[in-house]
Structure 1
Amino acid sequence: MALKNSYAIATPLNISIFLILLTIVYLRLRPSEPPKLPQGPKPIVFQTFTPRTLLKYNGQDNSPVYLAVRGKVYDVSSGRNFYGPGGPYENFAGRDATRGLACQSFDEDMLTKDLDGPLDDCADLSPDQLENLNGWIERFDEKYLIVGKLVPFKKTDFH
């Protein structure tokens, strides 16, 4: 004798619901693409600069902003609003800023005039000026990347 109210499990509605649930479970558990890391900045190659070759890194035309202190060349581009065009320290961009920082002066006469001459050894700085300079060097060492060294121009160097 057959049951009058027999229920079939494999009805079109049940199959549809089962397929929808199976799809949802698959979409939740399927492996996702690995996360893509953002590209880092271009690597900076440590370079040797002369006062003349450093000059082009003054921030003009969106170029990097470099300055030198005691022979170390720093990339101060992240402080462009201070060291780049229009900033309070813009005179130092692309230049040896050693004497100006030591003397706390932004005057043009603090900058090396002869770009092909010897570097300023700053031998005449007072103890207070040297202490001030060392404070700047500590600040730059902590905050900015050293991208090179500043050396005097030699007659054998090519432009």
Structure 2
Amino acid sequence: MANVLKRLATSVSVWVTLLSALIAVFIRFRLPFKPNNISLQQQQRLFTSEELALYNGTDDSLPILLGIVGSVFDVTKGKSHYGVGGGYNHFAGRFAPMDCIVLCDLSSIL
């Protein structure tokens, strides 16, 4: 009797696992994928140094952007750090490849 119950419990757990996997696959492929609000066009925008300088945190209507080794990041959420008066405001609105590399190297040493 115990052996039958053990086999039944094992088979039930196997079926529950398989059913869960099938539901997950169904949901993954049948429901539409909603990408982030950032469009592909925004992700591939190229900035000149003069354009990027406008996004240094002095204009509240614009995001704060930071260029590091060819990539541009929106650091508006860290306005207290990257905005006017923040400790990292020097980097906002600029391409800062060497400055950031030096900071990364120093932080790994400390």
TM-score between both structures, scaled by the size of structure 2: 0.53
When you count helix as a share of all residues, which structure comes out higher? Answer: 2
AA paired with 1:88?
G
How far apart are residue 84 of structure 1 and its match? 1.1
Q: What value does the CA root-mean-square deviation take over the aligned residues?
A: 2.6
Cα deviation, 1:110-141, whole Å, max 9, x if unaligned, reads xxxxxxxxxxxxxxxxxx83995xxxxxxxxx
Secondary structure, aligned partner of 2:81? helix
Structure 2 gap segments, 5+ residues each: 1-36
Q: Deviations over 1:73-117 (max 9, x none)?
A: 00000111111111000000000122112223xxxxxxxxxxxxx
Instruction: Report percent identity of matched pairs.
Output: 37
Distance in 1 between residues matched to 2:106 and 2:86, nearest whole Å? 24
Higher RCO (CA-CA < 8 Å; seq separation 6+): 1
2:105 matched residue in structure 1: 129
For structure 1, the residue ranges without an aligned partner over 5 or more in a row are 1-41, 105-127, 133-159
Residues 78 and 129 (structure 1), Cα distance of their counterparts in 2 relative to 1, 3 Å cut: same
Structure 1 residues 130 and 50, CA, compared in 2 at 3 Å: closer, same or farther? farther
Q: What TM-score results when the alignment is normalised by the length of structure 1?
A: 0.38
Q: Secondary structure at the match of 1:103?
A: helix
Structure showing greater Rg: 1
